[in-house]
Amino acid sequence: MKKQLKPALVTFLILTVVTGLIYPAIVTGLAQLLFPYQANGSLIVREGKPIGSILLGQPFDDPKYFWGRPSATAPFPYNAAASSGSNLGPTNPALMEAVTTRVAALKTADPGNEAPVPVDLVTASGSGLDPHISPAAAEYQVRRVARARGMEETVVRTAVSQHIEGRQLGILGERRVNVLVLNLALDASAQRR
């Protein structure tokens, strides 16, 4: 038994050092050297303070801001430590109630808007952390945001069009708008006025 135990323990220790220490140190070092922005969470920093990541959604509820997709994470929205979807199926009454409530909230925030509500404004993403909305979801909110900011709709619409991201590699995913980046651009625009 000792003949088998000694090689097993030595192999275990060697693999622990290689895969638990050396490999992670090399990967972390290379990431910091080659991709420091991404390796540190793709953070947006203003006046020396991180205000968010372009990879994670944030809750916005002020009418002057574009709102992102709802988040199903617990115990609070956009909780990166608890990434998850709601796992509610399309026939689940709880999902139907949540969607109905969200549609009503959007209609209350912009009572004159008769456009159909885009689905990504009333359903959570699979991760609950999606920082993007569709261009249609951004367009749906232009009127409310322009009115709340005292801006012309054309100015807000132009900001939206300037922040539409294309498909990755030209073929993957859908066109999208990063809500945090768009809201920060509008804030910067308001400060310049």
Convert the pLDDT of each residue in 110-144 to its tens digit: 999 999 999 999 998 888 889 999 999 999 999 99
SS3 46: strand
> Does 44 score more than 80 pLDDT?
yes
> Does 193 score more than 70 pLDDT?
no
Amino acid type, 81: A
Global pTM exceeds 0.75: yes
Domain map (residue ranges) of the chain: 1-40, 44-192
| Contact assessment for residue 83 and residue 90, using Cβ atoms and an 8 Å cutoff | no
Rg of the Cα trace of the chain?
A: 22
Identify the bridge partners of residue 44 per DSSP, sorted by sequence position.
52
| Contact assessment for residue 133 and residue 175, using Cβ atoms and an 8 Å cutoff | no
Look over the chain and give the mean of its residue pLDDT values, rounded to a whole number.
92
Count the alpha carbons within 13 Å of 20 in the hemisphere toward its beta carbon.
Answer: 6
Residue 164 and residue 182: Cα distance in Å, rounded? 9
DSSP, res 168? B
- Residue of 57, 87, 84 whose CA lies nearest to 180: 57
> Does 74 score more than 90 pLDDT?
no
Q: How confident is the model over 12-35, as pLDDT tens digits?
A: 999 999 999 999 999 999 999 999
> Does 151 score more than 70 pLDDT?
yes
> Residue 72: pLDDT band by 50, 70, 90 thresholds?
confident
Give the pair of three-digit tokens for residue 162: 């300037």
